[in-house]
Chain A
Amino acid sequence: MATDTRELSVEPGEPTTITGGPTPIAGGPSQDAGRPSPDAASGGARPHGGPVVRASRLVRRFGGRTVLDRLELSIAAGEFVALLGRSGSGKSTLLRAVAGLDHEVAGSGELRVPERVSLAFQDSRLLPWLRLLDNVVLGLKRPGAAARGRKALDEVGLAGRERAWPHELSGGEQQRAALARSLVREPELLLADEPFGALDALTRIRMHDLLRELYARHRPAVLLVTHDVDEAVELADRVLVLEDGRVARDVAVDLPAPRTPRDPRFQEYRELLLAALGVSPRPALPSVRTAEETTDDPAQ
């Protein structure tokens, strides 16, 4: 696999073998992480092959503040990783570093990312002056681009809207178009910074299903930033919690296919993660979503 090494400054040292966090937690549901999952579509399949993303001793500073502090991260090919953390903990900073968008940010460390990386933003970021299809295939050079774009729009349920202007679409449709734009490039790594943050709860559930389906079909490695603990547990193979500029928790989620908050083990994961985020979980009420309100930094 082609890897593009963005070497910021390589400090000599022992080769790092990282699996994410410094301390795999004992006693949590991750004990049985090694067991193969029964369902690949749920994202439960264990990663295969070497890591596609590898960050070692990654440091990013804004002024005097060290936001990422010798962070270690590795993501295997086809692995779905969710990234949690309090507001301001540096999730977006990490994502932008991996995406190569942090020009002029002070930092050091070693970062290896694959060649084809897609990034889904919190806003759909469609260019208002391009029709939907042109937005989806933006930057694609190959002659079959239009056909592939059409197929991608079809996959996200927007067939027939190729010639629509972005402002003619609903928020959810715009976000689906953005997803099509990310996937039409067949990325080895899909980065997403709270892509569903601006959507209503119902649309968000639909988007989860869609994302799961697309993930099962295309199998990119995924790094999904989210505020929503349920979203993380529902979608990811592995949930990372960012704290003090490092991956403080690395929780492998091993739940069978239709993951539902009703599952008591789902609750276990949720409580564990909420505790890691420094919030006391509410009494288990599976149908009530507690994530957004409670994971937000109260100081914000």
Chain B
Amino acid sequence: MSQAIARRRLGPGRSYPYGRIAGPLLLLAVWSAAAYGGLLDPRVLSSPGKVLSTAADLIAQGRLQTNLLISLRRALLGLLFGVGAGTGLAVAAGLSRLGESLIDGTMQVKRAIPALALLPLLILWLGIGEEMKVVVIALGVAVSVYVNTYAALTGIDSRYVELAEVVGLSRAAFLRKVVVPGALPGFFIGLRLGVTASWLALIVVEQINATSGIGYMMFQAQQYAQSDVIVVGLLVYGIFGFASDALVRAVERRVLSWRRTLAN
């Protein structure tokens, strides 16, 4: 009998099916055990059952859906404008020297100022309505998308540029065949960070001067010490944050199917 010699595998190996939700499920199990084992004071944190029944109540009253729709609309609009602006600015800065000198320095300065630090100024300019909320979200998203997309655009392998010159690609074909596909991985990193940034900004703007939305609902619950409603809000944020990231990942996997990385 001969023994096969296998090298120690340094890549992480195959991923488990549905492996990504194992962690959250474990967390849920621990929470249930603590709540039903009497280790948790309901005033500090409600049990999963109480949270579920509260969620059912909120749905029956229509409060959850209404607030959720408003929140989703803000997040989506902010994301849309942020991604558009971030990508547009990155393309302008990455592909033209004029754009680079005008935009990149400005964006680096903007990057150093957290979007939320601009809140007082934006409230002064735009009031406390929807525009202000969408703009705050869009600003945070735009910076994430810009920084990563710009880095990807300027980091295109010069050997590929040389190849494009040798085979005589037109400028348009060069952009289509080399620049865009080469920069897409960076864009997707920016997009995923942008999605995260949009939820973060949403939470903040909805707890300041808001009269609707999931964040407002949670803020109100805090006034009346309803920890179950707060947890429902957290769960909604968590579910949508998780789902949106999973969606971006799925799109990314499809678009970047040529890539072979540690991920698969």
- Interface residues of chain A, those whose CB is within 8 Å of chain B, are 99-101, 117-119, 121, 123, 125, 127-130, 138-139, 165, 167, 181, 185
Contacts and interface: CB of A to CB of B under 8 A. Distances in A.
B178 to A, nearest CB: 7
A180 B173 CA distance: 20
A100 B177 CA distance: 21
B160 A139 contact: no
B135 to A, nearest CB: 35
Contacts of A185: 167
B126 interface: no
B48 interface: no
Nearest to B160: A127
Main secondary structure of the interface of B (DSSP, over half): helix
A165 B258 contact: yes
A221 B60 CA distance: 80
B166 A127 contact: no
B241 interface: no
Nearest to A181: B167
Interface in B232-260: 256, 258-260
B166 A129 contact: no
Interface of B: 159-160, 162-169, 173, 177-178, 181-182, 184, 256, 258-260
Contact of B173 (A129, A139, A165): A139
Nearest to B182: A129
Contacts of B173: 139
A138 B177 contact: yes
B167 A138 contact: yes
B166 A130 contact: no
Contacts of A128: 258-259
Contacts of B162: 101, 121
B165 A101 contact: yes
A139 B182 contact: no
Contacts of B163: 121, 125, 127, 138
5 contacts: A123-B159, A129-B184, A130-B181, A139-B164, A139-B167
B81 to A, nearest CB: 28
Given A101-B162, A167-B260, A127 B181 contact: yes
A117 B182 CA distance: 25
Nearest to B184: A129
Contact of B166 (A119, A123, A165, A167): A119
A181 B169 CA distance: 13
A101 B259 CA distance: 29
B159 A125 contact: yes
A289 B165 CA distance: 36
Contacts of B184: 129
Contacts of B182: 129
B187 to A, nearest CB: 13
Nearest to A119: B166
A168 B217 CA distance: 53
Contacts of A121: 159, 162-163
- Please provide the 8 A-B residue pairs with the shortest distance between their CB atoms, ordered closest to farther: A139-B167, A129-B181, A129-B258, A119-B166, A139-B169, A125-B163, A138-B167, A139-B168
Nearest to A103: B165
A125 B162 CA distance: 10
Contacts of B166: 99, 101, 117-119
Contacts of B258: 128-130, 165, 167
Contacts of A130: 177, 181, 258
A123 B256 CA distance: 23
A185 B165 CA distance: 14
Contacts of A127: 160, 163, 177-178, 181
Contacts of A167: 258, 260
A128 B258 CA distance: 7
The listed residue with most A CB atoms (<10 A of its CB), out of B160, B184, B258, is B258
A139 B159 CA distance: 16
Contacts of A119: 166
Pick from A100, A101, A125, A139 the residue with the most CB of B within 10 Å: A139
Contacts of A125: 159-160, 163
A125 B157 CA distance: 11
Contacts of B165: 100-101
A121 B184 CA distance: 25
Contacts of B260: 165, 167
Contacts of A165: 258, 260
A235 B77 CA distance: 64
Nearest to B260: A167
